[in-house]
Amino acid sequence: MSSAPLVALVGRPNVGKSSLFNRLAGTRQAIVHSTPGVTRDRLYAPIEWAGRTMTLVDTGGIDTGARDDVGAQTRAQAELAINEADVVVFVVDSQSGVMPGDVDVADLLRTRGDKVLLVANKVESPATSASIYEFCSLGFDVPLAVSAIHGLQSGDVLDAIVAKLPPEPTDESGEEDGTIHLAIVGQPNVGKSSLVNALLGKQRAIVSAEPGTTRDATDTAIESGDRRYVIIDTAGLRKSVKTGPTIDYYSGLRAVAAIGRADVALLVIDATVGATSQDRRIAGLAVEEGKALVILVNKWDLVDVSAIDRKDTDEALRKEFAFAPYAPILYASALTKKNVHKIWATVAAAFDERRKRVPTAKLNQVVRDVFRVHPPPSFRGRVLTCHYVTQPGVAPPQFVFFVNDPQLVHFSYERHLENSLREAFGFTGTPIRLAFRARVRQDTKRADEIIVAATNEDGA
C-alpha cells in the first residue's frame, strides 16, 4: 500500500502561504487576499515532482497573538503539523522582515528542524532579496528566496522538498498479505468513533456528543471472517477552522494522511443531516488519491423509514456524489449495530476490485466491441481509432489506450469507455484511471504480438 508523503505549509498569517500553495500545486484553489487569516478551509493537492508524488497541504496561519489559551493551542497545532507532515515548509515574508510571530513559530518548529524547510516569500526586488539573510536568526538554514506571485524559484522549492522527503518505501507487505487498511472518515460528530467501537465490538475509541472529540488518527488491527483489517479512525474534517478550537485545523492533517495510508475510505454521513459540500469534498479527496470509496449513512435508527423511500434517498445521494457513481451506499446505525456487519463484506469487495486485473485479450475484445457498436464521433473529418489497450497497474486499476490521436478523445466518449469497462468487469467501489497515448510507428507489429501473447498467457 503506497502512502503519499505529506508536505504542510505553515507560518504566521499573511505571509503568502496560499499563493505559494497555488504556485506549487499549479491551481487556483486557495483564496488569496491581503487580509490575514482569509484561508479558512484546509486545502489539499496531490502533486508530482522529480518522480515523487506528495500531498501538499495549505494551512491557516499560526497566530500567536490570538486569544483563548494562546500558548497551549498554538503549540498543539505546531506539534500536530510536525508529527504528521513529512516536510514542514516554514513560510516567512521577506518584505516585512523577521516579526515576533515568526520567532514564536520558529520556536515551536525548532525541535524537528530536520523536517523544516525555511522559505522567504515575496522576494520581488534586489532589496528584498538581500534581506532574506536576516531570517537566519530563526535558527534554520539560509531561506530559499521565492516569489509565489511571479513563480520565482518555485521549482527550487520543490527540489528542496523532494530532497527532504523520506525514501520511497519498498515494503509492499500490506498488499502482499491482503491486509485491508480502512480509513473511517467524515465530518465531526457523525458517529465515526461509535462506528469503530461497533466494528471492533469493544469500547476502544472515546465517544462524546461534543464534535471533534477524536484528535488523532489511530490504527487498530482486527480480523473478520477470513480477512485482516487495519481500521484507521480519524479526526473529523471540519469545514471551517472558525467553527471550533484551532486544534481542529491541524487535526485535518491526520485525516488526510489516513486517507493516503488507506486502501478503502469509508465516508460516514449523518442521516439526520444528509450529505453536505464537505462530505463531497472528503469523497473527492479519496477519489483523487485513487482509494476505494464506500458511503455509509449512519444514525439510520433516527430516521422514520416509513416516511422515506429508500430509492429516492439513493438517487439523492447519487446526485450528490455524481463523480463517484461506483461507490456502494450502506445504511446502518452504530448505536444499535444494525447493518454494521455489512460493512466488512462491502469494504473487502471494494478492496479486491481496486486490485483487480483484467485479462488483456478480454480487455481488447470488450474495447473493440465498444468502438464497433458505439463508434466515437468524428472531429474535423477525423475519427478516433484504438489499436490496443493494456492494464499497466492496479490500486487503482489503470488502462492505457493506444490510439491514432489522443486529442480526438472527447470527455464524453472517455466516460462512455469507463462505463463500458465497469459494465464488463465490475470495479464496484474503486476509481479507475484511463490514459490515451499515440501509438508510435514501430508499434504497428507489436500490437498484434501483445494481444496474441496475452491471449496465450490468459488462456483465452
Q: From CA 389, how far away is CA 407, in angstroms rounded?
A: 17
Q: Is 189 helix (H, G, I), strand (E, B) or coil?
A: coil
What is the CATH architecture of 173-354?
3-Layer(aba) Sandwich (3.40)
Contact status, residue 121 vs residue 94, Cβ threshold 8 Å: yes
What CATH number was assigned to the domain covering residues 6-164? 3.40.50.300
Q: Does residue 251 surpass a pLDDT of 50? A: no
Contact status, residue 211 vs residue 236, Cβ threshold 8 Å: yes
Question: What per-residue confidence (pLDDT) applies to 36?
Answer: 44
Using DSSP bridges, classify how beta strands 87-93 and 6-10 pair: parallel, antiparallel or unpaired: parallel
DSSP assignment, residue 142?
Answer: P
| Rounded alpha-carbon distances, angstroms, from residue 132 to 18, 136, 214 | 20, 8, 40
Mean of pLDDT over the chain: 80
Dihedral sign for Cα 69, 70, 75, 77, please.
positive
Question: What per-residue confidence (pLDDT) applies to 235?
Answer: 52
Question: How many Cβ atoms sit within 10 Å of the Cβ of residue 312?
Answer: 9
C-alpha cell at 351: 478492496
What CATH number was assigned to the domain covering residues 360-458? 3.30.300.20
For the stretch 413-457, pLDDT in tens is: 999 999 999 999 999 999 999 999 997 655 545 555 554 454 455
Q: From CA 12, how far away is CA 244, in angstroms rounded?
A: 19
Q: Does residue 243 surpass a pLDDT of 70? A: no
Backbone φ and ψ of 304, nearest 5°: -80, 95
Q: From CA 375, how far away is CA 288, in angstroms rounded?
A: 29
Range of weakest confidence among 87-96, 193-202, 207-216: 207-216
Fold matches, 6-164 and 173-354: yes
Residues 187-199 have a mean pLDDT of 88
Domain residue spans in the chain?
Answer: 6-164, 173-354, 360-458
Q: Does residue 401 surpass a pLDDT of 70? A: yes
- Residue 351 confidence class, pLDDT cut points 50, 70, 90: very high
Residues 136-151 have a mean pLDDT of 91
- Residue 300 confidence class, pLDDT cut points 50, 70, 90: very high
Residues 365-375 have a mean pLDDT of 95
Question: What per-residue confidence (pLDDT) applies to 449?
Answer: 52
Residues 124-149 have a mean pLDDT of 88
Q: Under 8 Å CB-to-CB from 312, ≥6 apart: which residues?
A: none
C-alpha cell at 152: 520565482
Q: From CA 352, how far away is CA 221, in angstroms rounded?
A: 19
Q: Does residue 4 surpass a pLDDT of 90? A: no
46 alpha carbon, distance to own chain's centre: 7
Question: What per-residue confidence (pLDDT) applies to 167?
Answer: 85
Question: What per-residue confidence (pLDDT) applies to 363?
Answer: 96
Q: What is the side-by-side strand order in the sheet with 116-121? A: 43-49, 52-58, 6-10, 87-93, 116-121, 144-145
The residue with cell 523532494 is 162
Question: What per-residue confidence (pLDDT) applies to 47?
Answer: 83
Range of weakest confidence among 184-193, 215-224, 230-239, 287-296: 230-239
Q: 71 or 395, which is more confident?
A: 395
- Residue 89 confidence class, pLDDT cut points 50, 70, 90: very high
Question: What per-residue confidence (pLDDT) applies to 160?
Answer: 94
Q: From CA 249, how far away is CA 183, in angstroms rounded?
A: 19
Give the dihedral of Cα atoms 133, 137, 138, 143; nearest 10 deg: 20
For the stretch 257-288, pLDDT in tens is: 778 889 999 999 999 999 988 888 888 889 98
Residues 29-35 have a mean pLDDT of 42
* DSSP codes joined into one string, 238-259: -S-GGGS-THHHHHHHHHHHHH
Q: Does residue 32 surpass a pLDDT of 80? A: no
Q: Does residue 149 surpass a pLDDT of 80? A: yes
Q: Under 8 Å CB-to-CB from 92, ≥6 apart: which residues?
A: 11, 15, 98, 102, 118, 119, 120, 121, 135, 138, 143
Q: Does residue 92 surpass a pLDDT of 50? A: yes
